[in-house]
Structure 1
Amino acid sequence: YAVIVEDKRLAAIGSLAGTFNPMPRGANLSKGQGPALPTRDIVEGATAPKRTAKELTDVAKDLGMQNSMQVLPLDQNTVRVRFDEHIAFAPGKITLSDTAQALLDKLAESFKRPEVVEIQIEGHTDDLPTRGSGYASNWELSAARSMSVFHALEERGIANSRMITAGMGDKHPVAGRPDLSRRVDITLKFRPVTDSNVEKGQIRQLQRPAISSPKDSF
């Protein structure tokens, strides 16, 4: 059966709906034109750093390395993995140990997340001379170690275009912990979840269901 709604009554209904469910000025209620709502992609993008940090912490526990590997959330879009020299390299050497290889097998799976847009690999040393290492300075030793990690991750399927390496020498020591001054830091940069990401189509959105008028329905 047909339902007839007078124009005046329809206008009143529309006014009342606007009171209880206000829409932004200029919003179109036709299909696909309503305000956007976040989808699971946006939620997952926002929580990816926390979830990744937990995964990495669990890896350290599973391998019994919680005292040798640290997971450090730096901000809402950055997580750092730090592991000591003694689990990665022999003193003065750049060849990754079997322990480090097994660790990177596990870490690489989390590093492959699509939300991770950059991986920074830094080699660090203490301020002791590099006697017997075959390298002229701590700068060169730390740079060579960062490249060893770079190649190991590349072998595990991480694109080299996503990685940056640096040798920091002894310029960033850990106060009171010379053992941690000799280390490797791997910093994961995650894609920020912002309005601009949404506008560029980097993160999908779900449109609010359209509201049609009774005239369109009958």
Structure 2
Amino acid sequence: MVRIRHPLRRLTVKRRSNHAEHDTRERWLVAYADFVTVLLCFFIVMYSLSSINAQKFSELARALQNAMGGGGNIVIEAPLAAVGPDTFEPFTRDSSVPGRDAVSDSIELAVIERQIQELIKEHGLEAEVQTVTEERGLVISVQDTVLFVSGSADLTPRAAEIMDKLGLILLQTPNYIRVEGHTDNLPINTPRFPSNWELSVGRSTSVIQYLLARHNFPPQRLSASGYGEYRPKAANDTVANRQLNRRVDFVVLSSKFEASEPKILEQ
């Protein structure tokens, strides 16, 4: 019997290369690293905003403006300081770059509102002063008890301290500022104020005269108006609601609404 032996064949197992698989699996790390970097930058910015002062925010505004116009960023460290006439540098607006006003507006109004909130907290005025951002701009509503005695348009000594700090804050922005007087619907009839019309106008005018005299405001940026009882925030049916309606509103107009204001002639 003849036996035929089959030669043993060496089996070679080729292992598949994992390089492509590793490349595919590790590709997400690039996107993840980018995400973590962006997230870190976000929290750094949020931390900066939580402790930012007006000077730093002013520099941020200029940095964004320059970036939109092709310029570089500006970063200037400034220590916190007491509010004073020389503490802040007013914003300047360059309208030569399209869209720049909208960006600077949002930043400037955010700066002003933040400082007003700090002023409110400092003087414990949370129940008497409110801020709200509307389409026309930033509205700062101050109840009449903060500024005047009942039936009067003369600022009280307490009002002077608050108005001084408020004036320094408002002086930073180049926006037009409209001061609006409002009353409740209870009638008044005095030699000086025959009706609520005269009282509301008298109060807004007193505020403007104070800003002009004490803080050297450019008068072209200010306007006074009085609405009497006819622009209430709430129905005049309770004592609390009437208190809300007796107020002076400081309106920092947005650039969009400034365009509808009468033009200032260059002299």
TM bin, normalised by shorter chain, reads 0.5 to 0.7
1:189, 1:62 → 2: CA distance?
Answer: 25
5 Å matches for 1:185-200? 185-191=249-255
49 and 139 in structure 1: CA distance in 2 versus 1, 3 angstrom threshold: same
Residue matched to 2:225: 166
Change (3 A) 1:162 1:104: same
Write the distance in 2 (CA, Å) between the matches of 1:167 and 1:153: 17
Q: Distance in 1 between matches of 2:72 and 2:176?
A: 24
The residue type equivalent to 1:187 in the other structure is: V
Following superposition, the deviation at residue 174 of structure 1 comes to: 1.6
- The residue number in structure 2 matching 1:69 is 129
Counterpart amino acid of 1:130?
Answer: I
C-alpha distance after superposition, 1:76-124 (max 9, x if no partner): x71111111111111111100112111111111121124x320000110
Larger radius of gyration: 2
* TM-score normalised by structure 2 residue count: 0.54
- In the TM superposition, residue 190 of structure 1 has moved relative to its aligned partner by 3.9
Q: Give the unaligned 5+ runs of structure 1.
A: 1-34, 193-218
Match of 1:99 in 2: 158
Listed as ranges, the matches of 1:6-85 within 5 Å are 36-37=69-70, 46-75=106-135, 78-85=137-144
**Deviations 1:106-151 (CA, angstroms, capped at 9, x unpaired):** 111121124x320000110111110447311100111111100010
User: How many residue pairs end up in the alignment?
Assistant: 156
Match of 1:184 in 2: 248
Q: In the superposition, relative to structure 1, how do residues 98 and 133 fare at CA in structure 2: closer, same or farther (>3 Å)?
A: farther
One-letter amino acid of the structure 2 residue matched with residue 119 of structure 1: I
Provide the identity percentage. Answer: 26
Structure 2 SS opposite 1:149: helix
* Letter in structure 2 aligned against 1:138: N
The structure showing larger relative contact order (alpha-carbon pairs under 8 Å, at least 6 residues apart) is 1
Distance 1:133 1:126, change over 3 A: farther
Aligned partner of 1:197 in structure 2 is: none
Report if the CA contact (8 A) 1:119-1:164 is conserved.
Answer: yes
Instruction: Give the match's secondary structure for 1:140.
Output: helix
Higher strand share: 1
C-alpha distance in 1 between matches for 2:227 and 2:166? 22
**Counterparts in 2 of 1:175 and 1:45: CA distance versus 1, 3 Å:** closer
